[in-house]
Amino acid sequence: MSARDVAVTGLGLVTPAGVGVAATWQGVLRGTSNAVRCPALDGLPVDFCCRVPDFDADQRLGRRLSWRLDRCAAMALVAAREAVADAGLGAGSWDPVRVGVVLGVGTASMERYEEEFAKISGGRATEISPLAIPRSVPNMVAGEVGMDLRVRGPNLTVSTACASGATALGTARQLLLADACDVVVAGGSESLCSRIPAACFHQMGALSRRGDDPAAASRPFDADRDGFVLGEGAGVLVLERLEHARARGSRIRSYLAGYGASCDAYHFTSPHPEGRGAAEALAVALDDAGLEPGDVAHVNAHGTATVLNDRAEASALRQVFRRPPPVTAVKGALGHAAGGAGAIEAACTVLSLEDQVVPPTANLHRLDPEIELDVVSKAPRPVRMTAAVSNAFGFGGQNAVLVLRSAP
């Protein structure tokens, strides 16, 4: 045990594999892609994505609440409610002033902005919704969760591109270690399954173009990978000061033992080719956790399935571990949920520690020869582990690494 350990007591997930932790984990363990053609993207060069199936915010949250929410916020609320229930917390069981919310988003509400931009360009400015701003500004994702849970501690949204969900968890850990909160509801949420992100990422050359077979498109670390697949989802973890969790007799699912962050300071979209910043964040996270590289038995990789990112991440892992432990990349199954990805993948890392299994990387058929990693594919692999790492990286050279340890 370490005085810097933070308890993970609750998990909540909304992903393209399904709504809820059980559905998501089963889908990830199957190791098959959830990418399908998306009617909202009809006519675009890339018209497929990994979308959360049958997500009806009206049904899950009630029309009175859901009508004002962006899809990103609605998914965050559903995941947060599941996580809080899983932790056995809620009104009457906590001091609301000592409960914080920290959520990560990348672009927030691109879907709603499209609707409002169309009104402006069509000369219908007086038809703009008065809710356009409160639906769309990034801080409202955390704000809505705070209001829904009726908690009054620090309430923050962080944005470090596709590292946002992991950065949120690291920030939440820091609040707990500073004794600013007893509990922090933390994670990330995002939906890229709309026309502006699809068009922009296509123009950047970041998306897979396997429109003839969407389910085979996302191929992390594969020699034939050609880009990521748009995704969406939310991941929320309940984090507690260890003393607080013990005092209330909580089930501790794992420990968030370390956090490291860095900036490549190299390029506005491309990672440092040698993964310099990622390696530095990983080293800081291990030091924060008081662990040596040999203590880590599994890495949940950022694994976007872009040529540059996968090679840079592999380089970073080899620098720190020399012989890296078994690696998985769940974006092969779930697509890329941007600001939500780091939190979703951290939750999957908790589940790997609990079940002592590494999920397979979907669509990995032939490992890129320049990626000297042990990437799990085809089927889940049992692995004895007490510590694991979850990586998240983003535009602007943002790097966030989490170290998680199993609970006894």
In sequence order, the 6+-apart residues with CB closer than 8 A to the CB of 357 are: 29, 380, 381, 382, 383
Tokens representing residue 266 in the block: 């190299």
pLDDT at position 46? 97
Which residue stretches of 178-275 are H helix?
A: 195-204, 242-247
- Sign, Cα dihedral of 79, 342, 49, 192: positive
Label residues 59-93 b or e (16+ Cβ within 10 Å = b). ebbeeebbeebbbbbbbbbbbbbbbbebbebeeee
Question: What are the pLDDT digits (tens) for 273-299?
Answer: 999 999 999 999 999 999 999 999 999
Helix (H) / strand (E) containing 157: strand 155-158
Phi, psi (deg, nearest 5) at residue 174 = -65, -40
Q: In which residue are the tokens 């849970």 written? A: 149
Catalytic one of 202, 272, 298, 336: 336
In sequence order, the 6+-apart residues with CB closer than 8 A to the CB of 282 are: 260, 316, 317, 320, 389, 391, 401
pLDDT at position 115? 83
Asked whether the beta carbons of 114 and 106 are under 8 A apart, the reply is no
Convert 350-402 into a string of H (helix), E (strand) and C (coil): HHHHHHCEECCCCCCCCECCCCCCCECCCCCEECCCCEEEEEEEEHHHEEEEE
Is 365 a catalytic site residue?
A: no
d(CA 239, CA 139): 20
pLDDT at position 126? 92
d(CA 202, CA 39): 17
Phi, psi (deg, nearest 5) at residue 109 = -100, 65
Q: In which residue are the tokens 């559903």 written? A: 78
pLDDT at position 1? 61
Task: Tell whether pTM > 0.95.
Answer: yes
d(CA 314, CA 312): 5
pLDDT at position 306? 98
Q: In which residue are the tokens 């020399």 written? A: 322
pLDDT, one tens digit for every residue, the chain (408 residues): 677 899 999 999 999 999 999 999 999 999 999 999 999 999 999 999 999 998 999 999 999 999 999 999 999 999 999 999 999 999 889 999 999 999 999 987 677 778 888 898 999 999 998 888 888 888 999 999 999 999 999 999 999 999 999 999 999 999 999 999 999 999 999 999 999 999 999 999 999 999 999 999 999 999 999 999 999 999 999 999 999 999 999 999 999 999 999 999 999 999 999 999 999 999 999 999 999 999 999 999 999 999 999 999 999 999 999 899 999 999 999 999 999 999 999 999 999 999 999 999 999 999 999 999 999 999 999 999 999 999 999 999 999 999 999 998
Catalytic one of 38, 72, 302, 348: 302
Burial class (CB in 10 A: 0-12, 13-18, 19+), 389: buried
Tokens representing residue 363 in the block: 């669509």
Closest to 24 measured CA to CA, from 303, 302, 210, 236: 236
Q: In which residue are the tokens 């892609």 written? A: 33
Tokens representing residue 39 in the block: 């009617």
Catalytic one of 162, 181, 193, 348: 162
pLDDT at position 113? 78
d(CA 10, CA 240): 10
Asked whether the beta carbons of 88 and 143 are under 8 A apart, the reply is no
pLDDT at position 109? 67
Helix (H, G, I), strand (E, B) or coil at 83: helix
Closest to 27 measured CA to CA, from 297, 348, 275: 348
Question: For strand 99-104 and strand 183-191, is the pairing parallel, antiparallel, or unpaired?
Answer: parallel
Is 181 a catalytic site residue?
A: no
Question: What are the pLDDT digits (tens) for 50-75?
Answer: 999 989 999 999 999 999 999 999 99
In sequence order, the 6+-apart residues with CB closer than 8 A to the CB of 349 are: 298, 300, 388, 389, 390, 402, 404
d(CA 358, CA 384): 10
d(CA 259, CA 237): 15
pLDDT at position 118? 87
